[in-house]
Amino acid sequence: MASAAGAGSPSNSRSWASVVISSTARSLPCGTSLGPVEGELERAIEALLDSRAAGATICPSEAARAVDPEGWRELMPAARAAAGRLADQGIADVTQGGEVVDVRTARGPVRIRRRSS
């Protein structure tokens, strides 16, 4: 297990930012509104899924690119968190290797699909 001593080092700043974004998205109090980028990412995911055939999947990076074509990489943790919120609402499923997963604990590439009714 890594110690917290190196948490402030430049090599760890990005991973800590991901942790903050993920934990914030997971624990938003009821009635708390999302920021504009988070809302844009959720809308982008829904629009992309609406444009695909039933059962088709998208990559979170597609939503991030739709929101910010130049800075999409920096939006990836937020795009994954947006997918998690949509999954929590019963709108989408996050999959890995064709199996539904919790995006908060999944490591590596994931896909998003519209949840079938």
pLDDT at 81 over 70: yes
Using CB atoms within 10 Å of the CB of residue 83, give its burial: 0 to 12 exposed, 13 to 18 middle, 19+ buried.
buried
Amino acid 34: pLDDT:
67
Average pLDDT in the chain: 80
Token pair of 79 as six digits: 């795009």
Amino acid 33: pLDDT:
60
Q: Model pTM greater than 0.85?
A: no
Alpha helix stretches (DSSP H) within 1-117: 10-26, 36-50, 60-67, 76-88
Q: Which single residue is written with the structure tokens 């800590």?
A: 16
Pick the CATH number of 35-114 from 3.30.420.40, 1.10.10.10, 1.20.1600.10, 3.40.1190.20: 1.10.10.10
Under 8 Å between Cβ of 91 and 48: no
Instruction: Give the model confidence (pLDDT) of 22-74 as tens digits.
Output: 333 434 445 556 688 999 999 999 999 999 999 999 999 999 999 999 999 99
pLDDT at 93 over 50: yes
The rounded percent of the chain whose pLDDT value lies above 70 is 71
Domain ranges of the chain: 35-114
